[in-house]
Structure 1
């Protein structure tokens, strides 16, 4: 973690949260006490920011400055408001294409996905506030800078975002090996959102149940699944192929 992407000190982190800075994660020293720190903990909970309690040695490695037991990792990009993003995209004279990620946790996979999303014309990427890979320098580097070009929105609950998209006329298709039908049978010549699951667990079962479509890729070898960033690319370019006809 580079120094330009962190802030430190309890009051400084509090001010960053109140100023709506894009904070990926906060590290706090184990056993830290005091009224100001309790206020910070409360503010962190209200804003749904990830907080980890770590040994002081971890904080000392993150910065040599007087951190007061608290260090925050700042995202290199600004996130978009989800509902405003959807409204902006739907107002365009284009077929909307959104990408949703359910628990993709590897920053390099995330970066590769962002790069492919930008190249395939995705209008916006939607991720949950908790359980998603943070956007770090590695993410931006792997995305080849595409992280600055594709709007990314964080939401409290992915299922609520799915319901919102569906009520806005957007059909949501989940990529899952559990599907009966292959991707090539889904009509993407309509407002579309593609949802990809985590590297290990895929899309959560409760989320699968509310989708408009489920689709899988044909796997002809002995390996049972593709890397999520590769699978995402295949799905997105099937959308491109259908829409270019």
Structure 2
């Protein structure tokens, strides 16, 4: 029997449907919810052929981890991942990010939200089973983990070798032999590795990286940005550089 997971809230469910990221078997709605928004949501769900079940609020609470679902949840199957090849298919100037070492599901969701909003083309993850934290990850990302194309790589070597063979620049963050983020050319086909705060970047990847980036700070206190914050800063600098190029065409 296929295992099912819970998606909480309208945003996560709508994103899963839009992104065709997973099969949804049923949507549960608090029978006490009224209003134009809920009618519009029900109409959208009915058009997909997904069944809706109106239930008491306490039944929804029992199926979820918290109380922030807004009275709307869905039972869904496994997330559909794509291949590494599909992440860059038909992309002239792809920007792919691998999140390695971000263990907390909330932080993972926050990081993907930033990457998606900045226009990153795809995300590579390690084989960790994020499915068990589906509801948390989807809510923290505001549904963007259901919209972002994602591929699984067994390890950093597999992913970096693949993208290197495709002619993409390998990049990461570190203080070692680095250049300022604002001096780095991010407007090229790039595979960026974001390491976790505990493990950082492996020496083997640092040795093969084409570009090592350092984020300049306004104060030097011997501390660094959290991985999720660093992810946001780099992703939006990438977006800025790409937008400048577009405006000059």
Is TM > 0.5 for Structure 1 vs Structure 2? yes
- Equivalent in the alignment of 2:81: 79
After superposition, what is the alpha-carbon deviation per residue over 1:124-166, rounded to whole angstroms, capped at 9, x for unaligned? 1001214989652111100000011101111112212111111
Distance 2:205 2:180 in 1: 19
Partner in structure 1 of residue 45 of structure 2:
none
| TM-score, normalised via structure 1 length | 0.64
1:108 counterpart residue number = 106
1:214 and 1:113 map into 2 onto residues whose CA distance is: 20
Structure 2 unaligned segments of length 5 or more: list them.
7-21, 23-62, 64-75, 245-249
Find the residue that maps to 1:178 and give its secondary structure. coil
Per the alignment, in what secondary structure is the counterpart of residue 229 of structure 1? helix
CA drift of 1:97 comes to: 0.9
Distance change (3 Å), C-alpha of 1:134 and 1:181: farther
Structure 1 residue ranges without an equivalent (≥5): 7-20, 22-61, 63-73
Higher relative contact order (CA 8 A, sep 6+): 2
* Conservation of the 8 A alpha-carbon contact between 2:4 and 2:78: no
Task: Give the distance between the partners of 1:75 and 1:205, measured in 2 at CA.
Answer: 37
Alignment partners' CA distance in 1, 2:190 and 2:77: 28
Q: Does the Cα contact within 8 Å between 1:77 and 1:147 map onto a contact in 2?
A: no
2:138 alignment partner in structure 1? 140
SS in 2 for 1:214: strand
Q: Give distance in 1, aligned partners of 2:202 and 2:132.
A: 20
Structure-to-structure mapping, 1:58-73, within 5 angstroms: none
- Deviation larger for 155-164 or 108-117: 155-164
Residues in 1 aligned to 2:131 and 2:5: alpha-carbon distance in whole angstroms? 16
Deviation at 1:84, TM superposition (A): 3.0
Alpha-carbon offset, residue 233 of structure 1 = 0.5
What CA distance in whole angstroms lies between the structure 1 residues aligned with 2:177 and 2:130?
24
Are residues 1:244 and 2:238 paired?
Answer: no
Deviation at 1:182, TM superposition (A): 1.3
Deviation readout 1:186-235 (Å, 9 max, x if unpaired): 11121112210012121122222111111111123325111111100100
Query: Once the 2 structures are TM-superposed, how far is the Cα of residue 180 of structure 1 from its aligned partner?
Result: 2.9
Q: Structure 1 residues 146-155 or 122-131, which shifts more?
A: 122-131
Structural RMSD (CA) = 2.7
Residue 197 (structure 2) aligns with: 199
CA displacement 1:70-105 (0-9 Å, x = unmatched): xxxx9752211223333x2xx23x421111112221
- C-alpha separation between the residues in 2 aligned to 1:134 and 1:196? 22
- For this pair of structures, how many residues does the alignment match? 175
